[in-house]
Amino acid sequence: MRKARFWNRVARKYAADPIADMAGYEASLQRTRGLLSTEHDVLEIGCGTGTTALRLATSTGRLLATDISAEMITIAKEKLASQPIPQLSFALADADVPMFGTTTYDRVLAFNLLHLVIDLDQTMAMAAQALRPGGLFISKTACIAEMNPLIPHLALPLMRAIGKAPHVQCLNEAQLRAALTRQGFQMVSVERHGTKKKDFRVFIIASKPLATDPPRVSTC
């Protein structure tokens, strides 16, 4: 699939690269774990090589971690084979199309994905569809629009032209929140966990309202 080409090519390197801000990553893991229970069915979209899924799976009842890249999923399955966790499975899936029929989840996780999808509204709609009413969508996303303008307007297009960067959406926090709100999500918390200089990655927890929840009236 065309959307997966870049990620298939870089998967082995991605797996070998160290996490840039380990303390910030651990903070996000701890925050997410606090929102999980061993009763929960959890779906992760854009799981990459499964690093996060392997860390979170034992805090869930079942975690299905998915990615559009066959290479990423192969590496994730290799890791799982060397460190089996009964609750965890990996599968190839595009976050932009309905996932696995009518199955719904208590939590949907999307880490370092939303700035990379082609159609954010479509991805959000699929996440909303996959969640049970009252369920939580938990995400961490790079806000490229908050970076030095030379990055989105010069560095990334140049890198993309030579195949060194994927398609990237130049989003800010307000646009991400608006995309979630358009799909009916209610904002639970908006946080930043980075520990190094300015943190461009926003951690958002949003809930899918229960059928009985009254619609929220926006005041802005």
Binding site for ligand SAM (CB under 6 A): 3-4, 7, 45-48, 51-52, 67-69, 72, 94-96, 111-113, 116-117
| Cβ at position 172, least distance to ligand SAM in Å | 18
CA distance 179 to 38: 30
| Sequence-separated (6 or more) residues with CB below 8 Å from residue 172 | 143, 145, 146
Residue nearer to ligand SAM on the CB measure, 90 or 185: 90
| Cβ at position 31, least distance to ligand SAM in Å | 14
Residue nearer to ligand SAM on the CB measure, 113 or 204: 113
Distance of CA 69 to the CA centre of its chain: 14
| Cβ at position 195, least distance to ligand SAM in Å | 17
Query: Looking at beta carbons, which residue is closest to ligand SAM?
Result: 48
Contact (CB, 8 A) for 28 and 203: yes
CA nearest 105: which of 139, 131, 123? Answer: 131
Encoded amino acid at 162, one letter? I
Residue nearer to ligand SAM on the CB measure, 32 or 52: 52
